[in-house]
Amino acid sequence: MTRYASVIGIRPEAIAEYKRLHADVWPDVLKQIKASNISNYSIFLKEPENLLFSYFEYHGSDYEADMAAMAADPRTQEWWAVCKPLQSPLTTRRDGEWWAGMPEVFHMD
């Protein structure tokens, strides 16, 4: 299992809508997340900085292929099209990132 964390900004005026959407995530999106070998997925909100922090655990053997399958899923693409305009990517993110990846510097089981 590999842990992944990332961060992105959220537009202040979009917070209520983002919370509403994530209180009732589309079942097809949840199904695809699980099919992509992701579990223990959480998104946290830090106000007043308006940052979203995501954490998940990957249990598969080919992360790139699983993420490509998720990105190719039409329903997930629709979900992202709804969520992306609410977000504000960090200017310091790497090329190709929407959410900025964060390396793990400490863990305790």
Per residue in 38-67, pLDDT (tens digit) is 999 999 999 999 999 999 999 999 999 999
Cβ 99 vs Cβ 54: under 8 Å = yes
Which residues carry out catalysis? 22
Per-residue confidence (pLDDT) for residue 101, from 0 to 100: 96
> Which burial class, exposed, middle or buried, applies to 53 when counting CB atoms under 10 A from its CB (0-12, 13-18, 19+)?
middle
The pLDDT value recorded for residue 99 is 97
Q: Record the pTM.
A: 0.91
Confidence of residue 103 (pLDDT cuts 50, 70, 90): very high
Q: How confident is the model at residue 37 (pLDDT cuts 50, 70, 90)?
A: very high
Distance (Å, rounded) from C-alpha 104 to C-alpha 97? 17
8-state DSSP, 94:
P
